Structure formats: C-alpha cells, structure tokens
Amino acid sequence: MTKDAIFEPYNLGALTLANRIVMAPLTRNRAGSDFVPGDLAVEYYSQRASAGLLISEATQISQQGQGYQDMPGIYTQAQIDGWRKATDSVHAKGGHIVLQLWHVGRVSHVDLQPNSGAPVAPSAIRAATKTFVNNGFVDVSEPRALSLEEIPGIVEDFRQAAANAIAAGFDGVEVHGANGYLLDQFAKDGANTRTDTYGGSVENRARLLLEVTAAVAAEIGPDRTGIRISPVSPANGVAASDPQTQFNYIVEELEKLGIVYLHVVEGATGGPRDVALFDYDALRKRFSKTYIANNGYDLELAETRLSEGKADLFAFGRPFISNPDLVERLKTGAPLAELNPATLYGGGAEGYTDYPAL
C-alpha cells in the first residue's frame, strides 16, 4: 500500500470512490419549515463533492421521526424533489452521496410531533439531553413507549424512506443506528427496559435495528445499504451495560445481511476516543465489507489505521464544514480554515456555503 493510498480510488460496492475520505453526516438545521432542502443545500453538497463519499445530514423518515427544527425529511414528494437537485449537483461533479435515514425516538419535543403528541421511545424514559426547537436549545419532552403494534410501522417508514432516497437520486442510504436515537435506544439497556420481544436480551434489543436494516436492504439492495453505530458514545443520554457483547452480536448479524458498509463512531461522538474501553478491531473482524472509521481522525491517524488494516474509509466531520475542499488541503498539506461555531445550526449562507476554497 502506497503512502498516498488514502487519496487513491476505492471500490464501495458498485461505486468507485475517488478517494477514501468520507464527509460525515453533519446537522446544519437549514431546511426551513417545510423540511425541504433548498438551493443552499444544493450548493453546500456540491462544494464538497471531491470527498470520496458524502453522507448527508440526518434526514427524518417521518414527522414522528423529527427531533430538531429545520431538518430535512424524505417522506414527501417536495422533499424528494429538493434532494434530487442536490444529488444531481454532486453527480455533475463526479461525486457520490448517500442519505442518512433518521428517527430520533425520544430525542424530540412535543412542538415537533404530529398533533403535539409525546415523542416515542422503546421505554417511557426521558433522555437527559436537549434539542433545538423554536430557535433555541430546550429539554426534550417526556416520551411514551411504542406499542408492539406500532413497531412494524417504524420499519415500514424506514423502508419507504430508502425507496424515496433512491428516487431522489442518492447512491444509497445509511441507516442511523447511532448517537442515542431510536435504533440505538432500543439496542442499549439504559434506554430500553422492555420485557417483550424487543427488550431484555442482547438479541431482543438488537431486533429493531436489524429488522430496519434488513427491510432497507431488501428494498434497495444490500450493496446500497450502510449503517452507522456508536457502541460507547453517551450522546443524547444513552448507555449500555455491556456494549462489547451487544455490538459484537449486532455486527455479526449485519454481516449476514451483506450490507456494503459499517460506519463506526469510535468513542464519544464529537468527544474523546477513549471515553470507554471497547475493542473496535472485534467489529472489524466480524464484518467483511467496508469499515468506515469515524471520530477525531486527522490525516496522520487515518493513514496509520489504513496501513494497519484497521479501517477502509475515514469520515471527517467538522473540518468539512469550514473546508469545502478538505481533500485537496489534506493532500497538499495546506492549512485548514477555522469554523465559526456560532453559525453551525440554523441561519443562511453565512457559515454554510461561504467558506472559500483555496
């Protein structure tokens, strides 16, 4: 493997990526009240099309799945049409993009829910976190536990959202099973105290995540289906008593589905990589397709992990916000631009599409 292997093409299923650098999904809250990505989103993703793979911002599969204001959806024709403009712009520049499918579960607020209802969750346990609604950060609302009869509808919403993503021109989808959102809530016993077939054992708590992934893969093909997990991240107040056993099992089952990639947040999302002991190599050994490593990566760490065979692709998050040409900057050793944290969430072009290339 050459020293510059990270900048060389890589085959991801049927896609030939220009390099091994992935733009991680990044919440930006700019879709507007209709939850349709607009012209700014088209420009934003087009500017970053030199990444080997773009993963879109988390996108709700239904109104019930929404947890933050001004986030895009993928459940109406207007949303599909809006996303089509973005995917066309990325493809016109030779890039590839997948859509991250999202249901937030209990990380929501009644002001965002249908008929101002309670957010849904595996169990009626309020998350120790805040959400962004009414132009400010507030405590999430008290959730209600999903009934057994409702769960097939959640699976169906993910399946339909995957079909809609392909209709919108995406090259595939990423199931969001990380960061304390619905599928992660079911998987982790700190948020799931159910005693039915979706709670209790390792197998039962993994059931919804695996059913959703299987339904998506059956709809659009496993070669266009990926998933993101965060085994030890405390994001949005989730915790697992034995994450190694839980996620070893989950990855073994994902391997059977033949999906094209596993995207792993190593450590605390946006925080320390060593937040808890966990053997990520155990996941790598259980999954034969592409492993995307995420969290705290710079070029040096990515090159080291690649040379060791620990991962195939490397996801960069915030550096892509302020450096639309991040790949070129990394390749040439050019300095990286600083981001403005005040413009991360909400607003318009400032801090979104106005960061210049070199």
Cα 54 to Cα 40: distance, rounded to the nearest angstrom: 16
Cβ-contact 56, 45 below 8 angstroms: yes
Cα 334 to Cα 145: distance, rounded to the nearest angstrom: 50
Sign of CA dihedral 290, 293, 299, 302: negative
H helix or E strand, kind and range, residue 291: strand 290-294
181 is catalytic: yes
Cα 346 to Cα 354: distance, rounded to the nearest angstrom: 14
Cα 155 to Cα 84: distance, rounded to the nearest angstrom: 24
- Specify the 3-state DSSP secondary structure of 245: helix
Say which of 68, 75, 181, 352 is annotated catalytic. 181
Cβ-contact 294, 311 below 8 angstroms: no
Cα 343 to Cα 26: distance, rounded to the nearest angstrom: 13
Distance spanning both ends of the chain, measured CA to CA: 29
Angle, CA 206 vertex, CA 276 and CA 158 arms, to 5° = 110
Q: Distance of CA 17 to CAs 11, 13, 21, 78, Å?
A: 6, 10, 9, 29
Cβ-contact 109, 132 below 8 angstroms: no
H helix or E strand, kind and range, residue 230: none
Catalytic center residues: 181
